[in-house]
């Protein structure tokens, strides 16, 4: 029977097994997109956490009777306890004047996480400032 009724059945034979290949390709693409979104979220988490720790270190260094080096030590302590690896290996502090007010500024330079916690060192710089209480 080569009539009209068999034409769709013959055409369907050419698509046999294509669902498995389509699923494999689409699943890989969706998985890659999901992993990329997770990595972006992790990078934002690292940035926000490092910024909060730099601000806390600046507050520590700006307290009455404390030095900027104590702010650096506090920032390093916080970074080492909350972020994996050797984050925050470069932390510095200085006293600067902003709009006539002396502040302590703590700057931390750390890697941007591109693959899990791994990334190029020194690619992300965060800064925290606090009002110096000894004015």
pLDDT digits (tens, 9 = 90+) for 2-42: 555 555 555 556 777 788 889 999 999 999 999 999 999 99
Number of H helices, E strands in the chain: 3, 3
pLDDT at res. 97: 93
How many other C-beta atoms can be found within 10 angstroms of the C-beta atom of residue 100? 5
Looking at the predicted structure, is the pLDDT value of residue 64 above 80? yes
Looking at the predicted structure, is the pLDDT value of residue 50 above 70? yes
User: Residue 82: which residues within 8 A CB-CB, separation 6 or more?
Assistant: 49, 53
Residue ranges covered by each domain of the chain: 17-131
Q: What does the alpha-carbon distance between residue 64 and residue 118 come to, in Å, rounded to a whole number?
A: 38
Q: Is the dihedral of CA 84, 45, 119, 57 positive or negative?
A: negative
Q: What is the pLDDT of residues 78-120, one digit of tens each?
A: 998 998 876 657 999 999 999 999 999 999 999 888 888 888 8
């Amino acid at each position: 029977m080569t009539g009209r009724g068999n034409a769709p059945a013959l055409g369907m034979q050419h698509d046999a097994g294509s669902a498995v290949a389509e699923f494999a390709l689409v699943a890989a693409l969706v998985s890659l997109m999901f992993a990329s979104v997770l990595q972006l979220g992790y990078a934002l988490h690292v940035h926000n956490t490092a910024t909060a720790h730099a601000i806390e270190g600046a507050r520590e260094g700006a307290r009455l009777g404390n030095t900027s080096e104590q702010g650096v030590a506090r920032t390093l302590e916080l970074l080492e306890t909350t972020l994996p690896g050797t984050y925050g290996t470069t932390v510095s502090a200085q006293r600067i004047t902003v709009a006539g007010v002396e502040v302590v500024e703590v700057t931390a330079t750390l890697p941007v996480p591109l693959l899990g916690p791994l990334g190029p060192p020194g690619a992300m710089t965060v800064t925290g400032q606090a009002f110096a209480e000894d004015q």
